[in-house]
Amino acid sequence: MIVNAYGATSATEPLEPMTVERRDPGPHDVQIAVRYAGICHSDIHTVRSEWGPARYPVVPGHEIAGEVTALGSEVTKFRVGDRVGVGCFVDSCRECAACVRGEEQYCERGMVGTYNAKGRDGQPTQGGYSTGIVVDENYVLRVPESIDYAAAAPLLCAGITLFSPLRHWNVGPGKKVAIIGLGGLGHMGVKLAAAMGAEVTVLSQSLKKMEDGLRLGASHYYATSDPDTFTVLRNHFDVIINTVSANLDMHPYFGMLAVDGTLVEVGLPEHPVPVNVFDLTRNRRSFAGSMIGGIAQTQEMLDFCAEHGIGAEIELISADQINEAYERVIASDVRYRFVIDTATLEAPATA
């Protein structure tokens, strides 16, 4: 099957229309008509080779929502017409301790990324900025009826990336949680942590988005450009989740952690992050990281979102706005996730 797509041919050129060939569904495969694809900052890091050289051409997109259009002969979990989602990975070894535990994102042999990776068949994987994709049924999620397709797409990465650490560090009633950066990940963090019953604070570069932050569920909102923020909130938080895509000086943020507090890094900036260990020994603080979530927990997150009426706040765009959207994401000018309407993906003009 040949599908229309949008992708990058190098780290420096804008993305452009292209086509991708998808395999015929094997016995355990689900063929999906992609309806909406979210733009994650990781897409930008990848296509610009900020995390090391990408394998061009790259069709990004790992926040995928769509509909099942065909099934392999042995598929049992889905039917044609089902509302489904695909997140950051489409396969893993299924045998290692992590896979057996249901934490496929930490597969010891390496998960197979939805794009910019090599599939188990040896072919390069290509992502969701496309009109169709074929994925093994074990890596496909069910999107509950009550969540709008377009608002559901960003849950597949931004949603689970925040849900997983919030659960792991037992965020709930009585816990004070801060989210650094109110972008795609950050706004999901605010909604999810508030729904879990925690007291949520947004730490943003300015107060520009304060009204939104409070509407999304935060109780407090501070600008990190104001040095007083770091004095007022000294030794304050149980958990801080850093979603910022750029390198920050972490020293003042560690100062905001209470005794036994943890700062969880989910943002993946290009350069290493220096740590002064005195910031950790004081208050017995921890500095941790977290990467997306396993398939079972992603389903749990989608069901949690349905139960709590949570979807992403999105700005729907057409294919010809993707490059401009990238620039706006980099400028922190996104409220709060760009989502591509894949019906606007056209085949490249033939020369």
- Return the H-helix or E-strand segment holding 29: strand 29-38
Q: Is 13 helix (H, G, I), strand (E, B) or coil?
A: coil
- The nearest distance, CB 218 to Zn ion, in angstroms, is 22
Kindly state the tokens that stand for 241.
């989740």
Among the candidate windows 29-37, 94-102, 174-182, 318-326, which touches Zn ion by CB under 5 A?
Answer: 94-102
Residue 131 phi/psi, 5-degree rounding, is -90, -10
* Closer of 1 and 210 to ligand NAP (Cβ): 210
Q: Which of 258, 214, 267, 209 is nearest to 237 (CA)?
A: 258
Residue with nearest beta carbon to ligand NAP: 183
- The nearest distance, CB 259 to ligand NAP, in angstroms, is 26
Q: Where along the sequence are the contacts to ligand NAP (CB under 6 A)? A: 40-42, 45, 157, 161, 181-186, 204-205, 209, 243-246, 248, 266-268, 291-292, 329, 332, 334
Partner from ligand NAP, Zn ion, none binding residue 241, C-beta < 5-8 Å depending on class: none
Is 116 one of the binding residues for Zn ion (CB under 5 A)?
A: no
Residue 224 phi/psi, 5-degree rounding, is -80, -5
Is 42 one of the binding residues for Zn ion (CB under 5 A)?
A: yes
* Closer of 59 and 198 to Zn ion (Cβ): 59
Partner from Zn ion, ligand NAP, none binding residue 292, C-beta < 5-8 Å depending on class: ligand NAP
Q: Which residue has the tokens 């941790």?
A: 288
Is 58 one of the binding residues for Zn ion (CB under 5 A)?
A: no
- Say which residues have a Cβ less than 8 Å from residue 263's Cβ, sequence separation at least 6: 239, 240, 241, 242, 250, 253, 254, 257, 285, 286, 287, 288
- The nearest distance, CB 294 to ligand NAP, in angstroms, is 12
Is 157 one of the binding residues for Zn ion (CB under 5 A)?
A: yes
What residue spans of the chain are helical by DSSP H?
Answer: 41-47, 97-101, 149-152, 158-168, 184-195, 210-216, 228-232, 251-254, 278-281, 295-308, 322-330
Is 114 one of the binding residues for Zn ion (CB under 5 A)?
A: no
Q: Say if residues 241 and 162 touch (Cβ distance below 8 Å).
A: yes
Partner from Zn ion, ligand NAP, none binding residue 85, C-beta < 5-8 Å depending on class: none
Partner from Zn ion, ligand NAP, none binding residue 4, C-beta < 5-8 Å depending on class: none
Is 99 one of the binding residues for Zn ion (CB under 5 A)?
A: yes
Q: Is 281 helix (H, G, I), strand (E, B) or coil?
A: helix
- The nearest distance, CB 81 to ligand NAP, in angstroms, is 30
Which of 8, 65, 107, 203 is close enough to bind Zn ion by CB under 5 A? 107
Partner from ligand NAP, Zn ion, none binding residue 166, C-beta < 5-8 Å depending on class: none
Partner from Zn ion, ligand NAP, none binding residue 96, C-beta < 5-8 Å depending on class: Zn ion
Q: Say if residues 186 and 161 touch (Cβ distance below 8 Å).
A: no
- Tell me the site size for Zn ion, rule CB under 5 A: 8
- Say which residues have a Cβ less than 8 Å from residue 180's Cβ, sequence separation at least 6: 186, 203, 204, 224, 240, 241, 242, 243, 244, 248, 253, 267
* Closer of 96 and 223 to Zn ion (Cβ): 96
* Closer of 7 and 293 to ligand NAP (Cβ): 293
Contacts with Zn ion, residue ranges (CB under 5 A): 40, 42, 92-93, 96, 99, 107, 157
